[in-house]
Amino acid sequence: MTDPETADATYIEPITAEVIKKIIEKEKPDALLPTMGGQTALNVALEISETGFLREKKVELIGANEKAISKAENREKFKKAMNSIGLETPKSYIAHSLSEAKKQLKIIGLPAVIRPSFTLGGTGGGIAKNYDEFEIIVEEGLNISPNSEVLVEESVIGWKEFEMEVVRDKSDNCIIICSIENIDPMGIHTGDSITVAPALTLTDKEYQELRNASINTLREIGVDTGGSNVQFAINPKDGRIVIIEMNPRVSRSSALASKATGFPIAKIAALLAVGYNLDELINDITKTTPAAFEPSIDYVVTKIPRFAFEKFPGSKPLLTTSMKSVGEIMSIGGNFKESFQKGLRSLENGLNGLNNLNRDIEKIWTKKELKNLLSQNVPERFLLVGEALRNNFSVEEVCSITKYDPWFIDQINEIIECEELVKKDGIPKDEINMRWLKSQGFSDARLSELSGLNERNVREIRHKLGVRPVYKKVDTCAAEFETKTDYMYSTYAKNLYSTNKFCESSPSKKDKVIILGGGPNRIGQGIEFDYCCCHASFALSDLNLESIMINCNPETVSTDYDTSDRLYFEPLTLEDVVEIVENESSNGNLLGLIVQFGGQTPLKLAKEFETNEINVKILGTSQDAIDLAEDRDRFKELVNSLNILQPNNGIARSSSEAIKIAENIGYPVVIRPSYVLGGRAMEIVHSPNQLEKYINEAVMVSGSSPVLIDSYLRDAIEVDIDALSDGKDVYVAGILEHIEEARVHSGDSACSMP
């Protein structure tokens, strides 16, 4: 977004009222669009507007005006607005001080939910179960809220949560882009919840009620043009519906809905804000239908958040109304089970599907242990659901404890039943049963774990039986119209009794290159890598080469349908990438894969290609060069051969080796695993006890690769050098000096250039 060519003028400046005013005075714009930049943009736009500055400069606030923003974001105004159109909100009251909050608490009692006004991601909010928690959360919420206001509302924890993505134009045409159902119940922030689209457990009557309520909400709030997200809770016991909140802007859910349907909400919202109507805009995917057609999807989309609690061992891994995830993945399948298991293996945290909680280690649980863990909102509770069902919990028992809808527990139970069949009978020897098993979302790696065969053998058996995925297009219209855009997902569920004649991928005859994306955002691997992938795609297009992107992150630009010539929204695993490679190789000339722009994820995949003898060419940095840089032992030898100084060090492949090396070097030492990003499992240790505490994780993270133990350099200056090479000449693009000492990770250090 900050590329100079993205806009006619780009300012790299803080998003504050003072700075925005100066830019408005300089540029003299006709309008200000605040609905694309999240909560920050809304709050700053409102602050500027309330001073009268925009009226003075004759700048129109478009998309959502001052009144609409205030009515949607101010909890008290929103409650009154909803009541005025007959929509029920949870019982609640507004407080501007702790004493005021305490006085009225008897109205709703405990537990209570605290929601600050004008904040993002549930920041400063939470669920108070007792008076001590109530005081702490209210004080924090008042401090964080820009207008020192919190809403204290009755607990609807355990209710079902739904979201509706709505778009409205200036002529009051309203369409629902997508309904989203949170699998996790109320009490967990929607950004931390597993969600599915479309909503799968709503009755038609409930859906129509939510649809009408969403549209009426936009009209009452006054969102004249653009997209909004409206959130509801439904009591599963009596069907009572309450509206929770709305975002008068595009949101995280809007990005998800855009990728889930192929409808570019932000792009359309921007065009509506400058005066277009929905029926005047053409659907980019079909090129024939207007944007006024509500998207229709004939597949299931699952979003699963990615957490990083391992980076903060002192924090409790518990989920509340305040968002804690650092990224997310999206998966598409022909049914829920296929979509869900594809999503699990997309997370890149050791899951190949619905694994045991301890991955490949089967633990014997007591019923009491499982009940206790299931009752807690932990990040991997879906794995605990699997463990409970494996340990003879009934669907009803699991639903009672977790408050998950029985339909989802039934689906997970069917996955468990399939697992038991594979454990008992092994891999199917016929096409029909193998295809059926794959349609339930089982990866080759998961079937390998269940059957005892290695993954390569499973793949060979599957290929011998002729069981391959077909690729379907995301087309906004459930195949009613022809689509011009190659935005694809794989499925086995839609060709259970057929062959690839139903495949819609149609690889071209062009020269082509596949780019592997970075997968879910996490600490150490984020949008900076996606930026590189996008520019790689643009560069390939400039060379008249067909660019093919593989990624599974709905938050990124690389997964926009128009960033590359062809997009596969797929997990970045060996199986999924190999199937795409073979599909694309069936026509045209696949020149190879680019793996160097997506961070650590594609680099590890490149190593797997070599290990599994997959015949695919790696373009740019070769696999051997990657290994030379990433393998600590090989890199150490390279540095020695070049006569470059390095700290006193040694290579360890086990805990005992590490302890001996550290004793020889002398403490403090630094533990550095191979093939990691963001300092994963790296530690400065000052004693043998500390070393024993951390080394096991480092060895586990490195896998078969070595761990480097080197002397810690005190008071050292750290410098980053970015360089480009064509194999002959090297161009130094920039030198960054870190302000913090070398003990602070470069991603956490301030730096200066030059």
Burial 596-607 (b: 16+ CB within 10 A, else e): bbbbbbbbbbbb
Full strand arrangement of the beta sheet holding 195-197: 241-247, 226-234, 160-168, 174-182, 195-197, 300-306, 327-333
**Burial readout 477-489 (b: 16 or more C-beta within 10 A, e: otherwise):** beeebebebbbbb
Instruction: Please name the residue that has the structure tokens 């998950």.
Output: 404
pLDDT value at residue 679 = 65
Both structure tokens of 397: 């028992």
Give 117-138 as a 3 state SS string. Answer: CCCCCCCCCEEECCHHHHHHHH
Contact 554, 256 (CB under 8 A): yes
Length of the chain: 754
SS3 165: strand
Q: Give the span between the Cα atoms of 513 and 594, in whole angstroms.
A: 7
- The H-assigned helical ranges of 483-615 are 527-542, 574-584, 600-611
- Which pLDDT score is estimated for 678? 61
Q: Give the pLDDT of residue 499.
A: 52
3 state DSSP class of 675: coil
**What's the start-to-end Cα distance of the chain, in Å?**
23
Residues 630, 676: contact at Cβ < 8 Å? no
CA–CA separation, 307 and 325 (whole Å): 5
Note if the bond before 264 is cis, omega within 30 degrees: no
Tens of pLDDT along 65-108? 999 999 998 888 999 999 999 999 998 888 999 988 888 888 88
Return the pLDDT at 121: 63
What is the reported pLDDT for 749? Answer: 87
- Report the pLDDT value the prediction gives residue 654, as an integer from 0 to 100: 82
Residue 520: cis peptide before it, omega within 30 degrees of 0: no
Q: Which of 441, 437, 435 is nearest to 497 (CA)?
A: 435
Q: Which helix (H) or strand (E) holds 569?
A: strand 566-569
pLDDT at 109: 86
Task: Give the integer Cα–Cα distance in Å for 739 and 754.
Answer: 12
Amino acid at 10: T
Say if residues 681 and 673 touch (Cβ distance below 8 Å).
Answer: yes
Q: What is the reported pLDDT for 344?
A: 98
Give the CA dihedral 541, 543, 545, 549, nearest 10 degrees: -40
Peptide bond into 428 cis (omega under 30): no
Give the separation between CA 442 and CA 420, rounded to whole angstroms. 13
Beta strands 589-594 and 174-182 are unpaired
- Could you tell me the domains of the chain? 91-154 (3.30.1490.20), 165-297 (3.30.470.20), 488-628 (3.40.50.20), 631-711 (3.30.1490.20), 717-752 (no CATH)
CA distance linking residue 559 with residue 568, whole number of Å:
8
DSSP string, 678-740: TTTT-EEE-SHHHHHHHHHHHHHHHTTS-EEEEE--TT-EEEEEEEEE-SS-EEEEEEEEEEE
Q: Nearest to residue 580, comparing CAs of 565, 349, 533, 572?
A: 572
Residues in the chain with pLDDT values less than 70:
120-122, 360-361, 495-501, 678-679, 702-704
**3-state secondary structure at position 302:** strand
- Distance, in Å, from the CA atom of 439 to the CA atom of 306, rounded to the nearest integer, reads 25
Q: Read off the tokens for 65.
A: 């005006």
Kindly give, in sequence order, each residue whose CB lies less than 8 Å from that of residue 689, ignoring residues fewer than 6 positions away. none
What residues form DSSP beta bridges with 115? 151
CB-based contact 412:343 (threshold 8 Å): no
- Structural contact between residues 357 and 385, judged by C-beta atoms closer than 8 angstroms: no
